[in-house]
Chains A and B, each alone.
Chain A
Amino acid sequence: MTDFLNALLSGAGFGALYGLVALGLVVIFKSTGILNFSGGALMAVGGVVAAGLGAQGFWIAAGIAVVAVAGVGAVANLTVMRPLLGRGLFPGVMVTIGLTSVIEGSSGILFGRQPRFLADPIGVPTFQLPFGTSMSSTLAVAFGLSAAATALLAVAFRRTSVGLQLRAAAVRPEVAAMFGANPGRIFTYAWAVAGGLAALAGALLASLTVADISIAAFALRAFAAMIVGGVDSLGGAFLGGILVGVTELLAGTYLGDDFRLPSTMVVLMVFLMVRPQGLFGTPEVVRP
């Protein structure tokens, strides 16, 4: 029972991290239609940057990493992503894969190969909870930050003019442009937001485990989170992340650690087969 509850708690925490990355994927997919494979690299480089600034404490280091990686996202959009608008799935996926390579390689060249560590966001390493359960404080912070980021973004999408333009640009870029929206600038915002969210996840993961460019692989679960939640739903990305994280930790607890990643992929496959629009996404209406 304690194992079960612990798995739920940690799963929710890890899931919130996947949710952060997935949120970035959704923002980009929603506005530009590009399926971004570089979420993991953005996350990992965020972790590496934050850990490099570890002497400043978690929050300052993470803040700088978020801003820096948001910049990387914006630059990526301005240089290589923008020409791809409207060119379909394959080019976008391949360029973001190329981007992943460039980011990962550059990170090694710029920051070295040695793994780094980052302090916990708050002094207490773990929270002791009822029924003998406990939760890593970093995961609890991750959960809170992820929920807050999702809520903030959801409000921003609905209430602010940038959010409105993002939504409009997603549906009909040419119409949005007609009404004065500047899709180019808006897509840059989308990429910056995605970069920042990924970096935040990276910093949290760095303080949980270790900051190394190889943590990029963690973000694969973000794809599952994105599909489970629904590719165009922000809240869905968060809840999808939680569902994927909890599945993963339960599989890890009861089946063995090597079942963790495959279990998330099974969830992904099941959703694709049974409910491809996810929990909260809009079903695709196919009409020729």
Chain B
Amino acid sequence: MDLVTEITILVLAAFVGFEVISKVPTTLHTPLMSQTNAIHGIVLLGGLIVIGYANSTLDEVIGFIAIIFGTINIVGGFMVTDRMLEMFGTKKKAPAPAETSAEAGKDTE
């Protein structure tokens, strides 16, 4: 693929990223960060590709470490984000809605 096409993709992705991410509320910034952290674990792909043409022990060691780092990034990142978002999610099902509506009623009295 030629460089200009790749830069085109990059620029468009940047605009999409800004558009979508600026709508994430402050409350969810920590899970957003850990989720995007997991997404940059996509570098694992690079590790998988370069290990394919490793032809010395040093290259194998470099690639091996890169694959471990990338995998930790992906697995750890998505799992810890899930743990956090689970805490945010359960709030909705808990007695909270009833309480808040009762409160809202009280406020308007």
Whether A and B are associated in the same complex: the answer reads no
